[in-house]
């Protein structure tokens, strides 16, 4: 993958839409994300070579970094490498960024992922444009999709194994002055909750499926995206209204958009392009599929 630095025009467009969390630079073995005044390097090595070049890139675009962090890209499932601060002031490791005016909490001490997947910005905008009434957000993490849906007036159900992530999701609702009324947070295994929701007759007109490439659920159940995404999609369809929009998303190298279409098989499918600062292949593979049957 060739190197790509965000352009001045792209930065201006982001500023006009009140976004300060985005991809900043992409290289063959590393990338840099901006989170407000902070910059996070993700690299196969220690990231020091990228850190040494970063001030020059920032200067060319008229930006300054309050802090620079680096994390080592994990090689195996369930590995964890928390960001380490390489430069800048000693400030609280928790901060707040903006995506299209939505406020999202960031925590550089919270583990491998800091709280927001920036490559999903266009899909969150698309979700708001759909104006759904009820949204099911599976593998919700810190609930950025749920917050976007709530801003558009939807009721939401956010599912994630991590109670701590869902607590951060509640905080994101409050950051945006959104009441928690009409919004549920369920800390449980998605594969256990989906059948339960189906038995209870629940139905949604938008469903978010953004699972990790690998995860281990209750009773030791192992999920691998390239093997199990089809089953996940079928379980989601059981709680989908007819015509519901289902987002399939993965960063598995074995599943590109064409592979997701093959898994979906039926129903109209739309691929929303990733944010423009991402070069081809740098963002998650995503596909919106229309449920051809439902409640």
Position 140 pLDDT exceeds 60: yes
- Position 78 scores a pLDDT of 54
**How do residues 103-133 score in pLDDT, each as one tens digit?**
999 999 988 899 999 999 999 999 999 999 9
**What's the pLDDT at 76?**
57
Residue 256 backbone zone (phi > 0: left; psi -120 to 50: alpha; other: beta): beta
Do 64 and 197 fall into the same domain? no
Query: 223-236 burial by CB neighbour count: b if 16+ within 10 A, else e?
Result: bebeebbeebbebb
pLDDT in tens, 161-218: 999 999 999 999 999 999 999 999 999 999 999 999 999 999 999 999 999 876 666 6
* 93 pLDDT tier (thresholds 50, 70, 90): very high
Domain extent, residue 125, equals: 118-290
Note whether 101 and 131 are same-domain residues.
no
pTM for the model: 0.95
Q: Is residue 250 part of a domain?
A: yes
Strand pairing report for 155-160 and 134-138: parallel
What is the domain-level CATH number for residue 22? 3.30.750
Domain boundary among 56, 81, 106: 106
pLDDT of residue 119: 98
82 and 130 in a single domain? The answer is: no
Length of the chain in residues, anyone? Answer: 295
Residue 241 belongs to some domain of the structure? yes
> What CATH number does the domain containing 145 carry?
3.40.50.150
The residue among 75, 106, 137 that closes a domain is 106
Are 15 and 133 contained in the same domain? no
90 and 134 both lie in a single domain: no
40-68: average pLDDT:
96
Predicted confidence (pLDDT) at residue 67 exceeds the cutoff of 90 = yes
Average pLDDT (268-276) is: 95
pLDDT, mean over the chain: 93
Q: What is the pLDDT of residues 217-226, one digit of tens each?
A: 666 677 777 8
Residues 20 and 47 placed together within one structural domain of the fold: yes
| CA–CA separation, 136 and 286 (whole Å) | 17
53 with 123, same domain? no
φ and ψ at residue 101, rounded to 5 degrees = 90, -10
Residues 130 and 214 occupy one common structural domain: yes
**Three-state DSSP class for 45?**
coil
Render the burial of 254-267: b for 16+ CB within 10 Å, e for the rest. ebeeebbeebbeeb
Q: What CA–CA distance (Å, rounded) separates 57 from 51?
A: 10
Same domain assignment for residues 144 and 272: yes
**Taking 60 as the threshold, does the pLDDT of residue 101 lie above it?**
yes
Find the mean pLDDT for residues 46-50.
95
Angle at 15 between CA 14 and CA 19, to 5 degrees: 60
Residue 269 lies in a domain: yes
Question: Is residue 113 domain-resident?
Answer: no
Are residues 249 and 174 part of one domain?
A: yes
Asked if the model's pLDDT at residue 151 lies above 90, the reply is yes
User: To 10 degrees, what angle do helices 225-237 and 190-199 make?
Assistant: 20
- Of the candidates 121, 98, 103, 125, the residue with the CA atom closest to the CA atom of residue 275: 121
**Does the pLDDT at position 292 exceed 70?**
yes
- Is 112 domain-assigned? no
Triad 173, 178, 184: Cα angle to 5°:
60
- What is the number of structural domains in the chain? 2
């Amino acid at each position: 993958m060739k190197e790509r630095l965000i352009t001045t025009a792209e930065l201006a467009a982001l500023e006009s839409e009140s976004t300060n969390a985005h991809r900043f630079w992409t290289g063959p073995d590393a990338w840099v994300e901006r989170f407000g005044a902070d910059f996070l390097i993700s690299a196969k090595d220690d990231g020091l070579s990228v850190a040494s070049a970063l001030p020059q890139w920032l200067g060319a675009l008229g930006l300054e970094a309050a802090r620079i962090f680096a994390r080592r890209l994990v090689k195996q499932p369930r590995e964890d490498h928390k960001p380490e601060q390489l430069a800048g002031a000693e400030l609280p490791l928790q901060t707040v960024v903006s995506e299209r005016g939505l406020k999202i909490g960031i925590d550089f001490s919270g583990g491998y992922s800091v709280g927001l997947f920036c490559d999903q910005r266009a899909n969150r905008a698309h979700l708001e444009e759909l104006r759904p009434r009820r949204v099911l957000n599976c593998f919700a993490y810190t609930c950025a999709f749920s917050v976007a849906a709530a801003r558009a007036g939807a009721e939401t159900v956010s599912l994630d194994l991590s109670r701590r992530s869902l607590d951060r999701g509640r905080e994101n609702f409050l950051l945006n002055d959104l009441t928690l009324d009409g919004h549920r947070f369920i800390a449980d295994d998605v594969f256990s909750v989906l059948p339960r929701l189906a038995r209870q007759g629940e139905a949604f007109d938008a469903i978010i499926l953004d699972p990790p490439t690998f995860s281990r659920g209750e009773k030791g159940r192992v999920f691998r995206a390239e093997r199990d995404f089809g089953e996940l999609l079928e379980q989601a369809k059981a709680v989908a209204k007819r015509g519901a929009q289902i987002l399939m998303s993965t960063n598995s190298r074995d599943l590109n958009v064409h592979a997701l279409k093959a898994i979906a098989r039926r129903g109209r499918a739309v691929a929303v392009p990733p944010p423009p600062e991402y070069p081809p292949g740098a963002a998650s593979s995503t596909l919106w599929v229309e449920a051809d049957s439902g409640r």
